[in-house]
A and B are shown apart, each in its own frame.
Chain A
Amino acid sequence: MNRVFCRFLLLLIVLLFLPHAVYAGANLEVNTPAITSLKQSMQGRHIQLVNYYENGAVGFTKDGLLALRDANVVPLAKRQVVNGLISAENQDRNLLYREIARANKHPEWEKEIRATFSQRWIKLAKTGWWYQGAGGSWSQK
């Protein structure tokens, strides 16, 4: 009985961790021309976004994107510009997650790749920048 139970437990553990184990094989550093141009595009935009990370206008969302967290700290005439930057950055990020999944020949991994990158962005964020917790509330790093 114990052996049966142990086997069952082992199977359960394997099944529980199987999707993650499969996803763990993903190469997040994979490179394609599209990924290269997306990264270049994001690097170019980062300089424009840094000020808004620092003053709290823009924060990192829990789904690996950016959001306008507090528009009040942005001059009125610049709010549309910040919206545009966020939109463009989010388009690039969505494409990046999808391209990495495709380059790994597993488009269905996009969700997991997004989740991993979400954690990466927050980890890379500097002190004072804002990020969204699992519950949706904003915290300052």
Chain B
Amino acid sequence: MRNLFVTILLVILALGFSAYAAYPQLKLTVADIHSPAFHVKNINIQFVDHQASEFTINIEELGVQDHVWRNLNLSCGQFKVNERHIHCVSGQINLADSLSLPMVFQLNHAERKLMFEIKPTAKESWQVLMDWDEDNWQVRVNIVEGRVAHIKHWLPDGGTVPELTNGEIDLAAALSGDTDGLAHFVLDASLDEVSFSDPVGLHAGENVQLNIKAKADFIAEKNEWLWQTDVTWPRGEVFWQPVYLVGDGDRLSLNGIFGDERIRLRNGKLILSEIGEFEFSGLMTRSGHELHDFELHADNLELAVLFERILKPFFQDTAFAELEVSGQSNLVWQFRNGVSEHLMLDLDDVSVIDQRGRFAFNRVDAHIPWRANKVTIADISILSGHALNIPFGSVRVPLEIRGFNLLLPQLVLPVLDSELRLENFVASYQQDRWFWSFNGELKSIPMARLTEALQVQEMHGTLSGHIPEISYDGREKVVSVKGELLFNVFDGDVVVNNLSLLEPMGFAPHLNADVEMRNLDLGLLTKTFSFGKMEGRVDMDMLDLELSNWRPIGFDAHLKSSPGNYRRRISQAAIENISSLGGESATAAIQRSFLRFFETFSYSEVGWRCVLLNNVCLMGGIEHDSGSDSYTLISGGGIPAITVMGYNQKVGWEALIDRLKRVTQESEPIIQ
């Protein structure tokens, strides 16, 4: 950098002196100049006539970085010259073929001063002032209402960097140094109404205002630069895929040391409006551009704004795209010798609510420390929340953290006036995937509360059960159960086998299971569903059950009377409802006979079968009548006895559900 500047300076001086020294010669040629940063070919200086009323400087080729400009031309039609002084009063600089700009310059050899100014318009000015002596030199650059479009030719191209399309720049920069090169640099610039965009518009800004202050001093003894930068963003909008931000006084301050081998950031501060402040420092190696150390502190971050403005776009392709987050957070991150050493996250009164209604955590306070190769304990308190609409109460989670493994020996979660006891919870993060497992126990949960929470048909009794090992495999995105899941409901037993849940947090979770229910109390069951009173016990198998998005798409269900001795009675209303499912009304037949004098009847067996496939329920009963399409739903026995037949072989699933809803919502039929 220092050598480059000296080279440029020498070129300018050489051009100036050579032209002056050459007078009254008419033409001279300067040799090609090559440096690692730029090159110039064929510089020709020519006085147009012997009166020296006009001279031109032609540069055949100027290359800076990857840019090459050809046929640059500087001409001065009105200038004054004496032994001490060259003053171009009115000139033109022609950049490329199309762009021609008015220009003036003065070179005072005696005072060793050079002034060069381009004035594209009456208001716009790009000025360079230089002065020097044997040991030192200074350059000042002033830009007044400069159009940034002029700069774009000097920026790297190739579609990787957004192109400046509009806006103005006001700038005052001062550079100074000695024969060894640049030693001090001060910049004060403001960009206004700036627009930029890459070709596809994924990185673009409009009406951006930026104020930039920068300063750098070279420390010769250490051969390094002390630098500081302060950027404020008062207004304007930027879309930097996938984030959209609007400037509102946001500010970035950086200072540090720039050496031959390393860049040290001593103090960095980023103030994001309405979000909070981030303070950071770090060290980066110049060879390889590798981050060696980094430390970040942020206090009292407003999570609602941070998540909505910055984090949410990164979750768009995940199941967490529709979260609503509130509360405050503190964050510490220490990265040393190329690896993360320490991370600490504090949450203060944070709520996370899934807008799709799958879960919510309300008023979370947490202190979550993490250290590489050390065991830490996170303390997480949750006031309330819900998972799949099942609410849970206040809980404190002492989570043990060992690197990327989490352990929780036991947790008692208050659920619906009872509790869910989780044991041996372990989770690990491996190859960008989560794996976890736990077992536990569900204590008697009132079914009335549970069904109310799930917004389904009210049921009575309690639900309790043993939970075997449940594990999640992040590669397959499957929750699976090792062993049987046992529950007690309707005074009977429920065994769930082969349970697996694919993509539990996805948009369409898939559940597969085989469910066996034994000895359910028909009295409790029919009371629950207002189905008409039945007394007795039933077993039900629901094999190959498949739920998609929590709704059934397939199963083989078979309900039948449980073996054993128990009272078996059925009301007229229940007969009517069962028979209407089978396709025929029994009420009329009952009313035509003496049976109308009885409110309840005896039965020996009930049976119903439904194989759900492609939205159609293939129905059956206790058994098929040979030679007919009918099947027996209720087999009579005792006095008075009644037998109910079914005739519908196929019923659309939605129609069946509608029919069930109707019969459970209607009042019991009146028997005269």
Binding site for B on A (CB under 8 A): 30-34, 37-38, 68, 70-74, 76-77, 79-80, 83-84, 87-88, 90-92, 95, 99, 102-103
In the complex, whether B110 has a CB less than 8 A from a CB of chain A is no
C-alpha spacing A84/B243, complex, angstroms: 11
Partner of B553, one of A33, A72, A77: A33
Contact in complex: A72, B200 (CB < 8 Å):
yes
Contact in complex: B553, A103 (CB < 8 Å):
yes
Other A-B contacts than A37-B508, A99-B548, 11 sampled, CB-CB below 8 A, are A33-B551, A71-B201, A71-B204, A76-B244, A79-B239, A79-B241, A80-B239, A80-B242, A88-B316, A88-B321, A91-B317
Contact in complex: A34, B201 (CB < 8 Å):
no
In the complex, whether B379 has a CB less than 8 A from a CB of chain A is no
Kindly identify, within residues 203 to 228 of chain B, every residue whose CB is under 8 Å from any CB belonging to chain A.
204-206
Binding site for A on B (CB under 8 A): 197, 200-202, 204-206, 237-239, 241-244, 313, 316-317, 321, 506-508, 510, 548-549, 551-553, 614-615
Contact in complex: A83, B241 (CB < 8 Å):
yes
- Rank and list the top 9 A-B pairs by shortest CB-CB distance, nearest first: A71-B201, A33-B551, A72-B201, A34-B548, A87-B316, A80-B244, A34-B508, A34-B549, A32-B553
C-alpha spacing A23/B237, complex, angstroms: 50
C-alpha spacing A117/B553, complex, angstroms: 23
Contact in complex: A95, B202 (CB < 8 Å):
no
Contact in complex: B615, A83 (CB < 8 Å):
no
Contact in complex: A92, B507 (CB < 8 Å):
yes
Residues from chain B with Cβ under 8 Å of A73 in the complex: 201
Contact in complex: A102, B615 (CB < 8 Å):
no
Most buried by B among A32, A72, A90, A92: A32
Residues from chain B with Cβ under 8 Å of A37 in the complex: 508, 549
If A77-B244, A83-B241 touch, does A32 touch B316 (CB 8 Å cutoff)?
no
Minimum CB–CB distance from B305 to chain A (whole Å) comes to 15
Residues from chain B with Cβ under 8 Å of A70 in the complex: 200-201
Chain A facing B: main interface SS: helix
If A33-B551, A84-B316 touch, does A95 touch B508 (CB 8 Å cutoff)?
yes
C-alpha spacing A88/B614, complex, angstroms: 27
Residues from chain A with Cβ under 8 Å of B552 in the complex: 33
Residues from chain A with Cβ under 8 Å of B200 in the complex: 68, 70-72
Minimum CB–CB distance from B615 to chain A (whole Å) comes to 6
Partner of B206, one of A76, A92, A103: A76
Residues from chain A with Cβ under 8 Å of B204 in the complex: 71-72, 76, 79
C-alpha spacing A90/B433, complex, angstroms: 22
Contact in complex: A71, B508 (CB < 8 Å):
no
Partner of A71, one of B202, B548, B551: B202
Minimum CB–CB distance from B235 to chain A (whole Å) comes to 13
Contact in complex: A74, B201 (CB < 8 Å):
yes
Minimum CB–CB distance from B201 to chain A (whole Å) comes to 3
If A74-B201, A91-B317, A92-B507 touch, does A79 touch B615 (CB 8 Å cutoff)?
no
Residues from chain B with Cβ under 8 Å of A91 in the complex: 317, 507
Contact in complex: B321, A87 (CB < 8 Å):
yes
Partner of A83, one of B313, B507, B549, B553: B313
C-alpha spacing A31/B554, complex, angstroms: 12
C-alpha spacing A87/B202, complex, angstroms: 15
Contact in complex: B614, A33 (CB < 8 Å):
no
C-alpha spacing A91/B244, complex, angstroms: 22
If A76-B206, A83-B313, A83-B316 touch, does A95 touch B507 (CB 8 Å cutoff)?
yes
Contact in complex: A80, B313 (CB < 8 Å):
yes
Residues from chain B with Cβ under 8 Å of A90 in the complex: 317
Chain A: CB-nearest residue to B322: A88
The 18 sampled A-B contact pairs (Cβ below 8 Å) are A31-B615, A34-B508, A38-B508, A68-B202, A71-B200, A71-B204, A72-B200, A73-B201, A79-B204, A80-B244, A83-B242, A84-B313, A87-B317, A87-B321, A88-B316, A91-B317, A102-B510, A102-B548
Chain A: CB-nearest residue to B551: A33
C-alpha spacing A88/B507, complex, angstroms: 10
